Structure 1
Amino acid sequence: MDRSVLQSRPVWAASAALVLVLITNLLVNGWQLTGGFAALAVSTAIVLVAVIARAKKQGDPAS
């Protein structure tokens, strides 16, 4: 994968959102990913994959 794709702002934002969801779940529920946190984590991961695919397709420069 092109390095500029991984360094683009949308990819970083989506990655940060996923990490934030997982850390919040860890603090609230421990190691069990349950209920709304599971749905939120899955949807955030889907968004992350879509953002990476779009950035890779468009060839977004790292800005």
Structure 2
Amino acid sequence: MEMVLRAAAIYLILLIIFKIAGRRTLMQLTNFDLILLLIISEATQQAMLSTDYSVTGVDADYRHPG
């Protein structure tokens, strides 16, 4: 249920941002802007799933197996 609420909140925030920006602004996006959007969406996905892919998280799993 928490994941659904997070997804809904992010969707509403993005909807508001796109409404404020307008169509002309969205049509002027460059390749760099789209790549940046993909990077941000990947970070958001990891936050929604509550997974830890950081270096410290991997290091902690390596030191304490099981």
Q: TM-score, normalised by structure 2?
A: 0.42
| Higher percent of residues as helix | 2
